[in-house]
Protein backbone atom coordinates (compact mmCIF):
# COMPACT_ATOMS: atom_id res chain seq x y z
CA UNK A 1 0.00 0.00 0.00
CA UNK A 2 1.39 3.42 -0.93
CA UNK A 3 1.94 6.06 1.70
CA UNK A 4 -0.79 8.13 0.08
CA UNK A 5 -3.42 5.38 0.20
CA UNK A 6 -2.31 4.36 3.66
CA UNK A 7 -2.80 7.91 4.88
CA UNK A 8 -6.30 8.10 3.36
CA UNK A 9 -7.23 4.75 4.93
CA UNK A 10 -6.04 5.97 8.29
CA UNK A 11 -8.05 9.14 7.90
CA UNK A 12 -11.15 7.08 7.09
CA UNK A 13 -10.66 5.07 10.28
CA UNK A 14 -10.23 8.23 12.35
CA UNK A 15 -13.33 9.69 10.69
CA UNK A 16 -15.44 6.70 11.60
CA UNK A 17 -14.17 6.41 15.17
CA UNK A 18 -15.04 10.05 15.73
CA UNK A 19 -18.43 9.87 14.05
CA UNK A 20 -19.73 6.37 14.76
CA UNK A 21 -22.84 6.35 16.94
CA UNK A 22 -23.51 4.19 19.96
CA UNK A 23 -24.64 0.91 18.39
CA UNK A 24 -26.50 -0.08 21.55
CA UNK A 25 -29.07 2.64 20.84
CA UNK A 26 -29.88 1.33 17.36
CA UNK A 27 -32.91 -0.71 16.43
CA UNK A 28 -33.93 -2.58 13.31
CA UNK A 29 -33.61 -5.96 11.68
CA UNK A 30 -30.06 -7.31 12.07
CA UNK A 31 -27.89 -7.65 8.98
CA UNK A 32 -25.81 -10.76 9.58
CA UNK A 33 -24.87 -12.05 6.11
CA UNK A 34 -23.70 -10.73 2.76
CA UNK A 35 -26.37 -10.35 0.08
CA UNK A 36 -29.15 -10.03 2.64
CA UNK A 37 -32.28 -8.37 1.23
CA UNK A 38 -33.68 -5.81 3.67
CA UNK A 39 -37.27 -4.58 3.57
CA UNK A 40 -37.41 -2.76 6.93
CA UNK A 41 -35.01 -0.57 8.88
CA UNK A 42 -31.87 -2.64 9.38
CA UNK A 43 -28.57 -2.51 11.29
CA UNK A 44 -25.25 -4.14 10.50
CA UNK A 45 -24.08 -6.18 13.49
CA UNK A 46 -20.50 -7.00 12.45
CA UNK A 47 -17.88 -6.50 9.74
CA UNK A 48 -18.60 -8.65 6.69
CA UNK A 49 -16.28 -9.83 3.89
CA UNK A 50 -18.49 -10.39 0.87
CA UNK A 51 -17.88 -12.49 -2.27
CA UNK A 52 -21.00 -10.87 -3.77
CA UNK A 53 -22.99 -7.74 -2.90
CA UNK A 54 -23.17 -6.47 0.64
CA UNK A 55 -26.76 -5.41 1.34
CA UNK A 56 -29.61 -5.51 -1.17
CA UNK A 57 -32.38 -2.93 -0.77
CA UNK A 58 -35.84 -4.49 -1.00
CA UNK A 59 -38.24 -1.68 -0.02
CA UNK A 60 -38.68 2.08 -0.12
CA UNK A 61 -38.35 4.41 2.84
CA UNK A 62 -35.96 2.34 4.92
CA UNK A 63 -32.75 3.17 6.80
CA UNK A 64 -29.69 0.94 6.63
CA UNK A 65 -27.42 1.75 9.56
CA UNK A 66 -23.95 0.23 9.31
CA UNK A 67 -23.29 1.22 12.96
CA UNK A 68 -19.59 1.83 12.35
CA UNK A 69 -18.91 -1.57 10.77
CA UNK A 70 -17.38 -2.39 7.38
CA UNK A 71 -18.80 -4.12 4.32
CA UNK A 72 -15.84 -5.32 2.26
CA UNK A 73 -16.05 -6.81 -1.22
CA UNK A 74 -13.63 -8.97 -3.20
CA UNK A 75 -13.31 -6.43 -6.06
CA UNK A 76 -15.25 -8.60 -8.50
CA UNK A 77 -17.55 -7.06 -11.10
CA UNK A 78 -21.31 -6.71 -10.72
CA UNK A 79 -21.28 -6.59 -6.92
CA UNK A 80 -22.20 -3.55 -4.84
CA UNK A 81 -21.80 -2.59 -1.21
CA UNK A 82 -25.35 -1.22 -1.11
CA UNK A 83 -27.41 -2.51 -4.02
CA UNK A 84 -30.53 -0.49 -4.87
CA UNK A 85 -30.84 -1.53 -8.49
CA UNK A 86 -34.57 -1.91 -7.85
CA UNK A 87 -34.89 1.88 -7.73
CA UNK A 88 -36.49 2.07 -4.28
CA UNK A 89 -37.08 5.67 -3.14
CA UNK A 90 -36.37 7.32 0.19
CA UNK A 91 -33.55 4.97 1.23
CA UNK A 92 -31.03 6.18 3.81
CA UNK A 93 -27.60 4.58 4.31
CA UNK A 94 -25.42 5.79 7.17
CA UNK A 95 -22.54 5.28 9.60
CA UNK A 96 -20.02 2.87 8.16
CA UNK A 97 -17.42 1.76 5.61
CA UNK A 98 -17.97 0.39 2.08
CA UNK A 99 -14.83 -0.94 0.40
CA UNK A 100 -13.73 -3.24 -2.39
CA UNK A 101 -16.92 -3.56 -4.47
CA UNK A 102 -17.59 -2.55 -8.08
CA UNK A 103 -19.56 0.41 -6.63
CA UNK A 104 -19.71 1.20 -2.94
CA UNK A 105 -23.30 2.36 -3.42
CA UNK A 106 -25.38 1.78 -6.54
CA UNK A 107 -28.91 3.23 -6.69
CA UNK A 108 -30.47 2.99 -10.14
CA UNK A 109 -33.77 3.01 -12.01
CA UNK A 110 -34.93 6.44 -10.73
CA UNK A 111 -34.18 5.84 -7.08
CA UNK A 112 -35.31 9.21 -5.70
CA UNK A 113 -34.49 10.79 -2.33
CA UNK A 114 -31.55 8.54 -1.55
CA UNK A 115 -29.59 9.90 1.44
CA UNK A 116 -26.04 8.87 2.29
CA UNK A 117 -24.41 10.17 5.44
CA UNK A 118 -21.41 9.56 7.66
CA UNK A 119 -19.86 7.02 5.31
CA UNK A 120 -16.30 6.19 4.27
CA UNK A 121 -16.32 4.73 0.76
CA UNK A 122 -12.96 3.72 -0.69
CA UNK A 123 -11.09 1.29 -2.90
CA UNK A 124 -14.01 0.35 -5.13
CA UNK A 125 -13.26 -0.89 -8.64
CA UNK A 126 -15.48 1.45 -10.67
CA UNK A 127 -16.73 4.31 -8.48
CA UNK A 128 -17.54 5.04 -4.90
CA UNK A 129 -21.14 6.15 -5.44
CA UNK A 130 -23.51 5.97 -8.42
CA UNK A 131 -27.04 7.33 -7.99
CA UNK A 132 -29.61 7.72 -10.76
CA UNK A 133 -32.57 9.59 -9.27
CA UNK A 134 -33.79 12.98 -8.08
CA UNK A 135 -33.14 14.71 -4.74
CA UNK A 136 -30.14 12.62 -3.76
CA UNK A 137 -28.16 13.75 -0.70
CA UNK A 138 -24.56 13.00 0.27
CA UNK A 139 -23.35 14.55 3.52
CA UNK A 140 -20.55 14.27 6.05
CA UNK A 141 -18.80 11.49 4.15
CA UNK A 142 -15.42 10.64 2.62
CA UNK A 143 -15.09 9.07 -0.82
CA UNK A 144 -11.50 8.21 -1.65
CA UNK A 145 -9.14 6.06 -3.74
CA UNK A 146 -11.79 4.55 -5.99
CA UNK A 147 -10.45 3.40 -9.36
CA UNK A 148 -12.52 5.75 -11.51
CA UNK A 149 -14.97 8.43 -10.29
CA UNK A 150 -15.61 9.21 -6.67
CA UNK A 151 -19.26 10.34 -6.81
CA UNK A 152 -21.64 10.08 -9.80
CA UNK A 153 -25.16 11.48 -9.38
CA UNK A 154 -27.68 12.01 -12.16
CA UNK A 155 -30.97 13.64 -11.16
CA UNK A 156 -32.50 16.99 -10.31
CA UNK A 157 -32.11 18.80 -6.98
CA UNK A 158 -29.21 16.65 -5.81
CA UNK A 159 -27.03 17.94 -2.98
CA UNK A 160 -23.57 17.24 -1.61
CA UNK A 161 -22.72 18.79 1.76
CA UNK A 162 -19.65 18.71 4.02
CA UNK A 163 -17.99 15.80 2.23
CA UNK A 164 -14.44 15.05 1.08
CA UNK A 165 -13.72 13.34 -2.23
CA UNK A 166 -10.05 12.64 -2.84
CA UNK A 167 -7.55 10.49 -4.68
CA UNK A 168 -10.02 8.93 -7.10
CA UNK A 169 -8.77 7.82 -10.51
CA UNK A 170 -10.95 10.13 -12.60
CA UNK A 171 -13.43 12.88 -11.64
CA UNK A 172 -13.98 13.48 -7.95
CA UNK A 173 -17.61 14.67 -8.05
CA UNK A 174 -19.97 14.50 -11.03
CA UNK A 175 -23.50 15.82 -10.52
CA UNK A 176 -25.82 16.16 -13.52
CA UNK A 177 -29.28 17.67 -13.11
CA UNK A 178 -31.08 20.97 -12.63
CA UNK A 179 -30.72 22.75 -9.29
CA UNK A 180 -27.82 20.59 -8.13
CA UNK A 181 -25.64 21.97 -5.34
CA UNK A 182 -22.27 21.29 -3.74
CA UNK A 183 -21.56 23.04 -0.43
CA UNK A 184 -18.71 23.05 2.07
CA UNK A 185 -17.08 20.09 0.33
CA UNK A 186 -13.56 19.28 -0.87
CA UNK A 187 -12.25 17.57 -3.99
CA UNK A 188 -8.50 17.00 -4.03
CA UNK A 189 -5.94 14.87 -5.80
CA UNK A 190 -8.39 13.30 -8.24
CA UNK A 191 -7.09 12.11 -11.62
CA UNK A 192 -9.35 14.39 -13.70
CA UNK A 193 -11.51 17.35 -12.62
CA UNK A 194 -12.28 17.90 -8.97
CA UNK A 195 -15.97 18.77 -9.44
CA UNK A 196 -18.18 18.74 -12.54
CA UNK A 197 -21.64 20.12 -11.79
CA UNK A 198 -24.01 20.43 -14.75
CA UNK A 199 -27.61 21.55 -14.98
CA UNK A 200 -29.56 24.79 -15.02
CA UNK A 201 -29.49 26.68 -11.74
CA UNK A 202 -26.62 24.63 -10.31
CA UNK A 203 -24.69 26.09 -7.38
CA UNK A 204 -21.34 25.59 -5.69
CA UNK A 205 -20.60 27.37 -2.42
CA UNK A 206 -17.72 27.26 0.08
CA UNK A 207 -16.07 24.40 -1.81
CA UNK A 208 -12.38 23.59 -2.24
CA UNK A 209 -10.71 21.92 -5.22
CA UNK A 210 -6.96 21.40 -5.17
CA UNK A 211 -4.35 19.32 -6.91
CA UNK A 212 -6.71 17.71 -9.39
CA UNK A 213 -5.53 16.41 -12.78
CA UNK A 214 -7.76 18.67 -14.87
CA UNK A 215 -10.05 21.59 -13.95
CA UNK A 216 -10.68 22.36 -10.32
CA UNK A 217 -14.42 23.14 -10.52
CA UNK A 218 -16.45 23.00 -13.73
CA UNK A 219 -20.04 24.27 -13.89
CA UNK A 220 -22.23 23.89 -16.95
CA UNK A 221 -25.77 25.11 -17.57
CA UNK A 222 -27.91 28.22 -17.52
CA UNK A 223 -27.62 30.59 -14.53
CA UNK A 224 -24.96 28.69 -12.57
CA UNK A 225 -23.55 30.15 -9.35
CA UNK A 226 -20.20 29.64 -7.67
CA UNK A 227 -19.37 31.59 -4.53
CA UNK A 228 -16.81 31.65 -1.72
CA UNK A 229 -14.88 28.71 -3.14
CA UNK A 230 -11.14 28.06 -3.50
CA UNK A 231 -9.20 26.32 -6.26
CA UNK A 232 -5.45 25.83 -6.22
CA UNK A 233 -2.80 23.72 -7.88
CA UNK A 234 -5.13 22.10 -10.41
CA UNK A 235 -3.58 21.10 -13.75
CA UNK A 236 -6.34 22.78 -15.76
CA UNK A 237 -8.37 25.94 -15.15
CA UNK A 238 -9.22 26.67 -11.54
CA UNK A 239 -12.90 27.56 -12.13
CA UNK A 240 -14.46 26.90 -15.53
CA UNK A 241 -18.05 28.09 -16.09
CA UNK A 242 -19.89 27.22 -19.31
CA UNK A 243 -23.32 28.82 -19.34
CA UNK A 244 -25.37 31.97 -19.57
CA UNK A 245 -25.86 34.55 -16.80
CA UNK A 246 -23.39 33.02 -14.36
CA UNK A 247 -22.62 34.43 -10.92
CA UNK A 248 -18.93 33.97 -10.06
CA UNK A 249 -18.31 35.86 -6.83
CA UNK A 250 -15.92 35.87 -3.89
CA UNK A 251 -13.80 32.95 -5.03
CA UNK A 252 -10.02 32.39 -4.92
CA UNK A 253 -8.09 30.76 -7.76
CA UNK A 254 -4.35 30.38 -7.28
CA UNK A 255 -1.51 28.52 -9.02
CA UNK A 256 -3.72 26.62 -11.45
CA UNK A 257 -2.82 25.54 -15.00
CA UNK A 258 0.72 24.23 -14.64
CA UNK A 259 0.77 20.99 -16.64
CA UNK A 260 3.45 18.71 -15.27
CA UNK A 261 4.52 21.50 -12.99
CA UNK A 262 5.75 23.59 -15.90
CA UNK A 263 4.39 26.69 -17.62
CA UNK A 264 2.89 26.96 -21.08
CA UNK A 265 1.08 30.23 -20.26
CA UNK A 266 -2.38 28.81 -20.97
CA UNK A 267 -3.98 27.91 -17.62
CA UNK A 268 -6.42 30.49 -16.27
CA UNK A 269 -7.64 30.98 -12.74
CA UNK A 270 -11.24 31.59 -13.89
CA UNK A 271 -12.71 31.09 -17.35
CA UNK A 272 -16.33 31.76 -18.36
CA UNK A 273 -17.63 30.80 -21.80
CA UNK A 274 -20.79 30.05 -23.74
CA UNK A 275 -22.79 33.05 -22.55
CA UNK A 276 -25.05 35.69 -24.04
CA UNK A 277 -25.56 37.49 -20.73
CA UNK A 278 -22.08 38.07 -19.31
CA UNK A 279 -21.10 36.59 -15.95
CA UNK A 280 -20.92 38.88 -12.91
CA UNK A 281 -18.79 38.95 -9.78
CA UNK A 282 -15.31 39.77 -8.50
CA UNK A 283 -12.75 37.24 -7.34
CA UNK A 284 -9.16 36.91 -6.11
CA UNK A 285 -6.88 35.29 -8.68
CA UNK A 286 -3.10 35.12 -8.68
CA UNK A 287 -0.19 33.02 -9.76
CA UNK A 288 -2.10 31.06 -12.39
CA UNK A 289 -0.21 29.94 -15.49
CA UNK A 290 -1.93 32.32 -17.90
CA UNK A 291 -0.90 35.83 -16.75
CA UNK A 292 -4.27 37.25 -17.82
CA UNK A 293 -5.71 35.26 -14.88
CA UNK A 294 -9.42 35.63 -15.85
CA UNK A 295 -11.55 35.55 -18.96
CA UNK A 296 -13.50 37.79 -19.10
CA UNK A 297 -11.17 40.11 -17.20
CA UNK A 298 -14.06 41.70 -15.29
CA UNK A 299 -14.17 38.61 -13.04
CA UNK A 300 -10.73 39.40 -11.59
pLDDT values of the chain reduced to their tens digit, one per residue, 300 residues = 333 334 344 444 444 433 444 444 468 999 999 999 999 999 999 999 999 999 999 999 999 999 999 999 999 999 999 999 999 999 999 999 999 999 999 999 899 999 999 999 999 999 999 999 999 999 999 999 999 999 999 999 999 999 999 999 999 999 999 999 999 999 999 999 999 999 999 999 999 999 999 999 999 999 999 999 999 999 999 999 999 999 999 999 999 999 877 888 889 999 999 999 999 999 999 999 999 999 999 999
pTM exceeds cut of 0.75: yes
Read off the DSSP letter of residue 86: T
Spatial distance between the Cα atoms of 244 and 279, rounded to a whole number of angstroms: 7
**For residue 9, what pLDDT is reported?**
41
Provide the sign of the torsion angle of the four alpha carbons 207, 228, 282, 261, taken in this order: negative
**For residue 264, what pLDDT is reported?**
84
**For residue 262, what pLDDT is reported?**
82
**For residue 265, what pLDDT is reported?**
87
**For residue 13, what pLDDT is reported?**
42
Q: Measured in whole angstroms, how far is the alpha carbon of residue 290 from the centre of its chain?
A: 29
DSSP string computed for 179-238: T-EEES-EEES-SS-SEEEESTT-EEES-EEES-SS-SEEEESSS-EEES-EEES-SS-S
The torsion of the CA quartet 228, 231, 236, 242, rounded to 10 degrees, works out to -10
**For residue 226, what pLDDT is reported?**
98
Spatial distance between the Cα atoms of 288 and 8, rounded to a whole number of angstroms: 28
Amino acid sequence: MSTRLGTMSALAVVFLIAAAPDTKAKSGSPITACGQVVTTNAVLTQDLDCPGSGVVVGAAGITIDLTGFTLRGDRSSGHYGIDDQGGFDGVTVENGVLRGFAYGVLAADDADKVTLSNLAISGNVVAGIRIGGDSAMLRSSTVSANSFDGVEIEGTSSRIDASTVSGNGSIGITVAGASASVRASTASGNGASGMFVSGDGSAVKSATASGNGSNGILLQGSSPTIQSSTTSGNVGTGIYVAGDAAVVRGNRAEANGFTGGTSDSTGLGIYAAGYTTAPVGRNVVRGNDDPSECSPAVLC
